[in-house]
Amino acid sequence: MDEVVKFKILTFTVAVCALLVLSGCAPTVHLEPAANANDPLCAEVTVRLPDSIGDQARVWTDAQATAAWGTPSSVLLTCGLEAPAPTTLQCVSLGGVDWIVDEEETPNLRLTTYGREPAAQVYVDTTTLSADTVLESLAGAIQQLPKTGECTAPVTEDPDVADDETGGSAP
Amino acid sequence: MNPVVLRIVGPTILVVAALIAVVVGLVIGGGAAPRLTSDPGAIVRWGLPAAKLFVNLAGASMLGPLVLAVFALPSAGKPFTVALDVASAGAATLTITSGVVAFLTFLSSFNPQVNLSAEFGAQLGRFLLDTELGRSWLITAILASVVTVLAFAVRSYGAVLITTVLAVISLIPMATQGHSGELANHDPAVMSLVLHVIAAAIWLGGLILLVVVRPISSPHELDNMLRRYSTVALIAFIGVAVSGYARALTALGRWEGVASPYGLILLTKIGALLVMGVLGATYRRRLLAKASEGRGAFWMIVCVELGFMGIASGAAAALARTAAPADTIALPQNTAAEILTDAPVPIELTLQRWFTAWSPDLLWVLVAGFGIVFYLVGVRRAQRRGYPWPARRTISWIVGMGVLLWTTSGPLAAYDDALISMRFFSFALLSLAIPLLLVFAAPVTLATLVIHPRDDGSRGPREWLLWAAHSPLARFTLRPVVAAALFATSLWVFHYSDLFRWSLYDQLGAEWMISQLLVTGCLFVRSLALNASTTPEGRWRLPSLIALTGVATFFGIVTITRSDLIVAEWFGAMGRTWGPAPLQDQALAGGATLMIAGTLAILTGFSVLHTKRNNRPTDSTPVPGVRKDPHL
């Protein structure tokens, strides 16, 4: 193999490596969009989300009307879900937004807006961040979703539901 | 007037006129009026615009001399050395004054307790590092200090060119801040301000240099310099006028805005600009030939012009502190699209909108305008000298520049924030279709044919073009394999890295994207001109083309079929209620990029035909769309 050909192969290799490095250095979190992700109201939420929650910086996602914070992600948000039906699960109210708390995957919590159309869902790793920090940070953006109802007896003081046995519930 | 006296009088007139103008402007516009709450004190209120004025003047005396050194002065002569010294002094002044402005801005916007405590230092540090305003002044000061050292240290043309580029970059951050301190970078109006600042600096700085080097120049040197400066000044004048007009449109909003204090100061600037234009046009032409013989009148006019430039600079500094009518009536940003792009979602894209929608990008309006005018002037000059210039080349150039204008300022530009398909379509045009048209027009050949060669050792556009065309970098990047690799890399990297995001959020990023795609496209098309039968590099043309066609096809198919959304937080959050959903639109975008693959496939076909024909003993015809130029 003569020098010229070697040089060309080298050039190509460098180009390919540069490509891999450049595409690799922009981590994008893979999420699935919700059914009504294209709802313009979810756009209003997306553009108002905070750049960071606590010390967790926002990272980019690859699905419409979704967001993530922290590497690895400790908070995930999806907008554009069907509004949940009334449930016996606990309901908390924070910053003017009612959330249904699903603690099936403790220490990870799944929080879904109640009485908002379309609905949004937040998935929080509570070992990294407390749920009320997250909900307070997100309340401003979530309030863009119009209110259609509210919990009957929400917990307003302490959303740390893990040790709250007498919490309110959705109607 | 005595040249040595003029050397002192000229800059003095400039500074005095500027200071008077800034004070008058502040009084009229109320830019330095005491504030009702958290008033930072008279020193800050009056000191900030004054310091900003000196930043403008220092920036001009940095950039203007550098540009003249690059384009007008022979590197062996004394004026060249003096120009670099002036530039170095200007850059040093810019370093200091931008530091002062940063400090005063900090006092003005945060109104802290000024003392020597650690807390104050920490606050200042946070302002400089964490806020966009502070950062932009910090970057300006750092770049200006680098230019100070470089302009002092280097004397070769290549190094001076790099210094000049750095000097231009150092003026960009202060322009992107906008007049009212708004930091929304996305606004295309930002670009008009960037162009305005740079063109004004070149124009004013060049004039300062003329006055400074006059006593040490021979009549012949002075004559050459005046002639060349006059060309630079004409281009700068057009740049200043057009960008100023665009900026004024966005700042005033409506015609009633002219009656406001802002409009009044603006009218002063326009008046000064017109006077300078008239002075330049009539007197420079008439007196140019005689100026070098020491005719006083010409230099009197230079003094008057400096005075008016001072007025314009002072008015500009005052204007920067005056609330624009359009800013005060601006509605709060409400919708998602307004938060992202500073503009509501455009109305539905119908067939009619393809012909009526527009969103001018001043940079490319100027590039296309100057490009067409210079090319036509060149063609006329070539024909007058008896070189026939094929009409198909002229048509190709005009169409190419027209498509460039349409892409950057037409419906594609108006909708490319809302629709990813429009953005990818403009990428496809910029990266291959426009370069094909432009390279076919052989602009470098025309330029080397008709631009007068310099005979005094300086470098004009012709010398720079030939220098660039024969530089090792150009020879390397014009190899078919390298050019194809660059093209493929550019295609993938731009669409799948944060560069793409940058081009959405920041107008500078958008301009970078357009430039990068055009340059890689032109290099690639140009590299195809290598003749397969005569050069060893040419043998790689066909394999490169085939490989690139494959890469582009793959790229298009990947884009069509992918289920995730590119820059989801932008294209998925526009709140657009018409047209296809973002994911479907992205599939359309992939279809648009298949255009690149299609064009490449056609080029491959031509290349195969051409190679076959070349193998026959009869003489060859070049590949259509690609021509071998003697000068490249």
B207 backbone φψ class: left, alpha, beta (φ>0; ψ -120 to 50): alpha
CB contact under 8 A, A11 and B481: yes
Q: Are strands A66-69 and A56-61 parallel, antiparallel or unpaired?
A: antiparallel
Tell me A86's DSSP state.
P
β-bridge partners, A52: A57
Q: Which of B201, B59, B35, B216 is nearest to B140 (CA)?
A: B59
Cα gap B264→B531, rounded to integer Å: 62
Q: Does B540 contact A at CB distance below 8 Å?
A: yes
CB contact under 8 A, A33 and B565: yes
CB contact under 8 A, A26 and B497: yes
- Domain of residue A63, residue span: 28-163
Cα gap B78→B212, rounded to integer Å: 12
Q: Nearest by CB to A46, from B336, B564, B583: name it.
A: B336
**Contact yes or no for B483/B537 (Cβ under 8 A):** no
CB contact under 8 A, A19 and B492: yes
Q: Nearest by CB to A23, from B496, B569, B572: name it.
A: B496
Cα gap B385→B244, rounded to integer Å: 38
Give per-residue pLDDT as tens, B94-103: 999 999 999 9
Cα gap B306→B471, rounded to integer Å: 39
Please give the pLDDT value at position B121: 84
In chain B, which stretches have pLDDT less than 50? 179-185, 617-632
Residues of B in contact with A44 (CB under 8 A): 335-336, 575
Residues of A in contact with B476 (CB under 8 A): none
Please give the pLDDT value at position A23: 47
Which of B338, B569, B577, B583 has the highest number of chain A CBs within 10 A, making it the mutation to test binding with A? B569
Residues of B in contact with A76 (CB under 8 A): none
CB contact under 8 A, A65 and B573: yes
Which of B:153-192 have CB within 8 Å of A?
A: none
**Contact yes or no for B132/B182 (Cβ under 8 A):** no
Counting one residue from chain A and one from chain B, the pairs whose CB atoms sit within 8 A come to 82
B174: CB partners within 8 A, 6+ apart: B55, B59, B98, B136, B137, B140, B197
Please give the pLDDT value at position B247: 79
Which of A62, A76, A144 has the highest number of chain B CBs within 10 A, making it the mutation to test binding with B? A62
SS3 (DSSP) at A77: strand
CB contact under 8 A, A19 and B489: yes
**Contact yes or no for B277/B237 (Cβ under 8 A):** yes
User: Residue B565 CB: number of other CB atoms within 10 A?
Assistant: 24
* Rounded-to-10 torsion of CA B170, B174, B178, B181: 150
B191: CB partners within 8 A, 6+ apart: B361, B362, B363, B507, B511
Q: Cα distance from B53 to chain A (closest Cα, Å)? A: 36
Residue A4 lies in a domain: no
Residue A53 lies in a domain: yes
Please give the pLDDT value at position B166: 95
Predicted confidence band at A18 (pLDDT cuts at 50, 70, 90)? low
Residue B459 exposed, middle or buried by CB count within 10 Å (0-12, 13-18, 19+):
buried
Residue B455 exposed, middle or buried by CB count within 10 Å (0-12, 13-18, 19+):
exposed
SS3 (DSSP) at A139: helix
Q: Nearest by CB to B574, from A43, A66, A67: name it.
A: A43
Please give the pLDDT value at position B286: 66
Q: Per-residue b/e over B113-135, b at no fewer than 16 CB within 10 Å?
A: eeeeeeeeeeebeebbeebebbe
| DSSP character string of B151-189 | HHH--SHHHHHHHHHHHHHHHHHHHHT-TTS------TH
Cα gap A45→A32, rounded to integer Å: 17
Domains contained in chain A, number: 1
Q: Cis bond leading into B188, ω under 30°? A: no
CB contact under 8 A, A63 and B577: no
Q: Residue ranges of the alpha helices (H) in B214-252?
A: 219-252
CB contact under 8 A, B481 and A8: yes
Residue A23 lies in a domain: no
The two structure tokens encoding residue A70: 């922290």
User: What's the whole-number mean pLDDT along residues A68-74?
Assistant: 90
Q: Which of B269, B262, B265 is nearest to B244 (CA)?
A: B269
Task: Answer whether 0.90 is exceeded by the pTM.
Answer: no
Please give the pLDDT value at position A157: 53
Residue A133 lies in a domain: yes
CB contact under 8 A, A64 and B540: no
Query: Is the ipTM reported for this complex over the cut 0.95?
Result: no
The two structure tokens encoding residue B512: 């970078």
* Rounded-to-10 torsion of CA B134, B135, B137, B138: 110
**Contact yes or no for B241/B275 (Cβ under 8 A):** no
Cα gap B614→B619, rounded to integer Å: 7
The two structure tokens encoding residue B445: 């050949």
Please give the pLDDT value at position A72: 87
Q: Cα distance from B512 to chain A (closest Cα, Å)? A: 17
Tell me B106's DSSP state.
H
Please give the pLDDT value at position A156: 65
Cα gap B351→B332, rounded to integer Å: 32
The two structure tokens encoding residue A123: 């998935």
Cα gap B504→B513, rounded to integer Å: 10
Residue A100 lies in a domain: yes
Please give the pLDDT value at position B187: 64
Please give the pLDDT value at position B609: 84
Domain boundaries of chain B, sorted by first residue = 3-323, 358-450+462-615
Of A42 and B120, more confident: A42
β-bridge partners, A120: A79
